[in-house]
């Protein structure tokens, strides 16, 4: 196989997370090789993911945008966007907590409106 990578990758076995659709859709994946520029990921079953995704490896403290370079039945190659260049990327867990907090705030506001209408 012709090696086209510009940076060497280390063989690893990390748990990763792919998010897309405004982080409403997530898929767990296994990271099989990794460098600060990209990774090879595998899924247990065939997965269709878009060309641009949010990618996270909790063990490495990495959360960034990535683009698909190649894909096959249950694997894909990713190239990471420059993390330093994108200061607005937040970890997936933070996005989940933010969404849950916003939902709780909407429920509380709705209940408050109901109580005020009763008076």
Integer Cα distance of 19 and 23 in angstroms: 5
Condensed to tens digits (0 to 9), the pLDDT of residues 9-59 reads 668 888 999 999 888 889 999 999 988 788 999 998 877 889 999 998 888
Residues 32/43, Cβ–Cβ less than 8 Å: no
Q: What is the mean pLDDT of residues 82-93?
A: 57
Q: Is residue 74 included in any domain, yes or no?
A: yes
Integer Cα distance of 116 and 110 in angstroms: 10
Q: Is residue 3 included in any domain, yes or no?
A: no
pLDDT at 48: 84
Q: Give me the phi and psi of 82, to 5 degrees please.
A: -65, 115
83 pLDDT higher than 80: no
CATH code, 62: 2.40.10.220
- Tell me which residue has tokens 């990390």: 14
Q: Is residue 43 included in any domain, yes or no?
A: yes
Identify the domain containing residue 53 by its residue range: 10-118
pLDDT at 105: 94
pLDDT at 7: 54
If one compares 38 and 4, the residue with the highest pLDDT of the two is: 38
How many independent structural domains does the chain possess?
A: 1
Residues 65/81, Cβ–Cβ less than 8 Å: yes
Q: What is the CA radius of gyration of the chain?
A: 19
Lowest model confidence (mean pLDDT) among 34-38, 62-66, 73-77, 82-86: 82-86
pLDDT at 4: 55
3-state helix, strand, coil in the chain (%, to 5): 25, 40, 35
């Amino acid at each position: 196989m012709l090696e086209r990578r510009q940076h060497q990758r280390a063989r690893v076995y990390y748990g990763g997370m792919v998010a897309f659709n405004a982080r409403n859709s997530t898929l767990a994946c296994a990271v099989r090789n990794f460098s600060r520029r990209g990774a090879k990921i595998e899924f247990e079953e065939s997965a269709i993911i878009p060309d641009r995704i949010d990618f996270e490896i909790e063990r490495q403290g990495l959360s960034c945008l990535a683009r698909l370079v190649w894909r096959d039945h249950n694997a894909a190659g990713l190239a990471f966007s420059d993390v330093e260049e994108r200061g607005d990327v937040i970890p997936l867990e933070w996005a989940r907590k933010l969404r849950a907090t916003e939902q709780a705030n909407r429920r509380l506001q709705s209940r408050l409106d109901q109580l005020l209408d009763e008076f």
